[in-house]
Amino acid sequence: MKPVYFFDEGDGKNKKLLGGKGAGLCEMTRLKLPVPPGFVITTEVCKKYYENNKKLPKSIIAEVKRNIAKLERRTGKVWDSQDNPLLVSVRSGAAISMPGMMDTILNLGINDKTVKGLTKKTNNPRFAWDSYRRFIQLFGKVVFGVDDRRFDQVLEFIKEKQGATIDSELSEESLKEIVTKYKEICEEHTGKKFPTNPFEQLELSIKAVFNSWNGERARIYREKNNITKEIADGTAVNVVSMAFGNMGNDSATGVVFTRNPGDGTRHLFGDYLVNAQGEDVVAGVRTPKAVADLKKDLPKSYNELVKTCAKLEKHYKEPQDIEFTIEQGKFYLLQTRNAKMNATGMIKTSIEMVKEKLINKQKAILRLNPEQLEQLLHKRIDEDNVSNYAILGKGIPASPGAANGIAVFDVKKATSMGENGSKVILVREETKPEDVPAFFASVGILTSRGGKTSHAAVVARGMGKPCIVGCSELRIDHENKKCTVNGTAVNEGDLITIDGSTGKVFVGEVPTIEPKITRDFKTILEWSNNAKRIGIRANADTPEGAKLAREYGAEGIGLCRTERMFNASDRIGLFVDMIMAETLQDRKKILEKLGQLQKSDFIQILKAMEGYPVTIRLLDPPLHEFLPNPEELANKVRTLEQRNALEVERSKVLLARARELAEVNPMMGHRGVRVGVSYPEIYEMQIRAVFEAAIELKKQRIDAHPQIMIPQVSSLEELRYVKEIYDRIKDEVEKENKTKLKINFGTMLEVVRACLTAEQIATTAEFFSFGTNDLTQATFSFSREDAEGKFLPEYLNKELLERNPFQTLDTNGVGRLIKLGIKNGRSVKHRLEIGICGEHGGDPDSIKFCHNSGLSYVSASPHRIPIAIVSAGQAALAGRVRKKAGKIKRRK
């Protein structure tokens, strides 16, 4: 396969081969947009580089040289020339955009000889030397791994010496001094002369970009964003002839979104800097100007930008994120990609683009990332209470949502404190890609520098975390672990609140309120609902949970875990008494009281879900979970004995029972239906409570549809055992009340044997629901309690597993059992209702699997219902798109 493509040769649709950036550059070249000439070294070469023990094959180097020669012909510039030198940028770009996670080098090809050529050609020595010092810094950092701070120290020192406040004020002499010092830093670091041969520079840079694919931050980013090898495998390298934004005041560089990525509204959104290079905007070193000002500064280029944006949107049918450079009034495009937007932006643009007839409803749903919609369920500042809190300062609102937490100025500390459960707001001058772990661990990010497209802003938006940038009044004093804003000091650990929607920073913990679903979001839910075929139910065990789920669009409750009701403070004592009862008679007496409480719970939940099915699962956990921990109890007994306290006897009895019920392997122990077999009176009580609640609601003419579900069933015999209890209670209650009730009796499929024998179980069960939490545990023999905290991260890191199977269904293993369970069950009852109620019921990829497997519904936690609805809509629409594609192929 061809290893290198000149921009006019590449297929702009082949992102896998050319990377997103490379494909975009090829496509824009084809569209005759002003892209500086260049070429792409494919992702296949990156893969070969790794297979080849990180060596570039000779044939590739030869191919690169051939393309440089072509570049010389296209640009009229000459490689390594002291008259008219050709300089290039070397940019990374994988199939999926990973902003700031990999490396880029600018101004490559510059050396002591070509810097003269550049001076001669441009008649601008300051510019030439500025480009040279930038090159050494980036090259030194990326290729040699020199700590950026060493360069920054030199820069600051010389700026101070010259009395310059900003970089662009540096004189030619100062820049020359910086270049000499920068080279010394690199040479001291490597122990070798700084490379002057442009081909050597290029080869080292290509390797460095390939290496950055496997750098720590890129790997973490891929892991956190579920970017598997199928999605992106290696980075491409783009070698592009330089367009200079730092050639004077008629030059500029900027980043612009064709629509506002924060709220989706249709206007250009972005920043630019006059007389600067791209890295300055992204790194947030200087605070840039809003793109609207370009109209005044460089009106001709502004018009070109507007026209280009419109053309690109029409072509890609997606809002674009564009990088541009203006070199002495000439406009160049350096990149285009689909804009990463927050959830509000994505929803808004979906609705707007349908109105503009740019896309149809189908595309409007399919383009959404359901997982991202969770952002819309984020908190905001409680405006009624906000006046009680002082405003500390105001910055640029970069990622919406409100967060309160303790201010931490150090990246490592923020990471560890956040990971240990503290609510941390990371406060920095600016952020760099290596700070990303702290983003994951923080609830919000605040920076004193940078614009809307700075690193902090882009990363926080992608993660849906509140973020404020460019809060220029903020002065951070790292030594004393504090910052001051307009005279007010905030020490590390002090509570602050940030509002990423307005840019305001507050002192203290401002109350926040839960979000509401907007009209646009409702429209998307409506379209998704119309498209989806699988039902959406909720896992809820309180009336509030049921109400919320219903508001979000749930069509019933797929799992009501009844044990959670026993944990309420007014129940737990009774429940413990029930476990401690010495005789069956005593236990039944207590169960009667518990039954009344449970009945009133069921009534409330069934009312909240009127008209929809509510699956009530009988007691599942092992009984010891309701008793105090034996070790703690033993300590208590010892203390009580020393004090000769009266309760010592009762505590001893409790301890004895706790020890009796303790299990080595509780998740596989005396739980679920096994408890029901040992203590049928508990299940009797629960079944009766369901029937009595239904009777009560019938009297109130409330349309309640409870169904009873048995956990942990492994055999038909077990299910039959409980079914007999069910039949007896049903008979009794119906006779007592002279009425008939239809309450379905079903089972969970969460034990491997149940899936294998589902055709037998289906003879008694009226419905199935896959408990994929336990089924995953059983299939892998991974403890659901411990695996995620122990070895699973390592498994993911070492790529022994692609996804966490407790989060995303393992379709290859657990999925096969599910398919078998469905096939077996429906071989007996064709229309058997089969759902899923493990955590996977709210996971978009798992929902797609459930849809394709023919499940009747998925059940997810109330907050994930909207995500589940959109995912279900997407699954149905994707199926239609596939079918349509199949038909077209067949017709051919």
Residues that bind ligand PEP (CB under 6 A): 559, 561, 620, 750, 771-774, 837-838
Residue number with CB closer to ligand PEP (470 or 838): 838
Q: How far is the CB of 772 from ligand PEP (least distance, A)?
A: 5
Residue number with CB closer to ligand PEP (70 or 561): 561
Residue number with CB closer to ligand PEP (196 or 773): 773
Q: How far is the CB of 477 from ligand PEP (least distance, A)?
A: 48
Which option in ligand PEP, Mg ion, none does residue 772 bind, with CB closer than 5 to 8 A by kind?
A: ligand PEP
Measured CA angle at 670 (ends 666, 672), to 5 deg: 105
Which residues carry out catalysis? 455, 837
Residue number with CB closer to Mg ion (270 or 771): 771
Distance of CA 157 to the CA centre of its chain: 41
Q: Residue written as tokens 């972005």? A: 270
Radius of gyration in angstroms for the set of CA atoms belonging to the chain, rounded to a whole number? 32
Contacts of 884 (CB under 8 A, 6+ apart): none
DSSP secondary structure, 2-28, as one string: -SEEETTTS-TT-HHHHHHHHHHHHHH
Residue number with CB closer to ligand PEP (504 or 571): 571
Looking at the DSSP assignment, which residues form a beta bridge with residue 85? 78
Amino acid at 317: K
Q: Give the Cα separation of 701 and 691 in Å (integer).
A: 15
3-state secondary structure 636-667: HHHHHHHCCCCCHHHHHHHHHHHHHHCCCCHH
SS3 label, residue 560: strand
Strand duo 467-469 + 396-399: pairing: antiparallel
Name the nearest CA neighbour of 367 among 389, 394, 348, 393: 348
Burial class (CB in 10 A: 0-12, 13-18, 19+), 171: middle
Q: How far is the CB of 819 from ligand PEP (least distance, A)?
A: 17
Which option in ligand PEP, Mg ion, none does residue 563 bind, with CB closer than 5 to 8 A by kind?
A: none
Residue number with CB closer to ligand PEP (168 or 744): 744
Helices first, then strands: H and E counts in the chain: 34, 31
Q: Give the Cα separation of 69 and 571 in Å (integer).
A: 81
Residue number with CB closer to ligand PEP (311 or 863): 863
Residue span 703-742 as binding mask against Mg ion, x where in contact by CB under 5 A, dash where not: ----------------------------------------
401 neighbors 510 (Cβ within 8 angstroms) = no
Burial 845-882 (b: 16+ CB within 10 A, else e): bbbbbbbbbebbbbbbbbbbbbbbbbbbbbbbbbeeee
Q: How far is the CB of 694 from ligand PEP (least distance, A)?
A: 23
Q: How far is the CB of 750 from Mg ion (least distance, A)?
A: 5
Q: How far is the CB of 871 from ligand PEP (least distance, A)?
A: 18
Element (H, E) at 727: helix 716-737
Residue number with CB closer to ligand PEP (284 or 672): 672
Which option in Mg ion, ligand PEP, none does residue 595 bind, with CB closer than 5 to 8 A by kind?
A: none
Measured CA angle at 175 (ends 171, 181), to 5 deg: 145
Sheet hosting strand 504-507, strand order edge to edge = 391-394, 504-507, 495-499, 402-408, 424-428, 444-447, 467-469, 396-399
Which option in Mg ion, ligand PEP, none does residue 561 bind, with CB closer than 5 to 8 A by kind?
A: ligand PEP
Question: Between residue 771 and residue 790, which ones bind Mg ion under the rule CB under 5 A?
Answer: 771, 774
DSSP secondary structure, 366-429, as one string: HTS-GGGGGGGG--EE-TTTGGGS-EEEE-EEEE-SEEEEEEE--HHHHHHHHHTT--EEEEES
Which option in ligand PEP, Mg ion, none does residue 601 bind, with CB closer than 5 to 8 A by kind?
A: none
Name the nearest CA neighbour of 195 among 153, 154, 240, 143: 143
- Max CA-CA distance within the chain? 104
The residues of the shown chain that bind Mg ion, judged by CB under 5 A, are 750, 771, 774
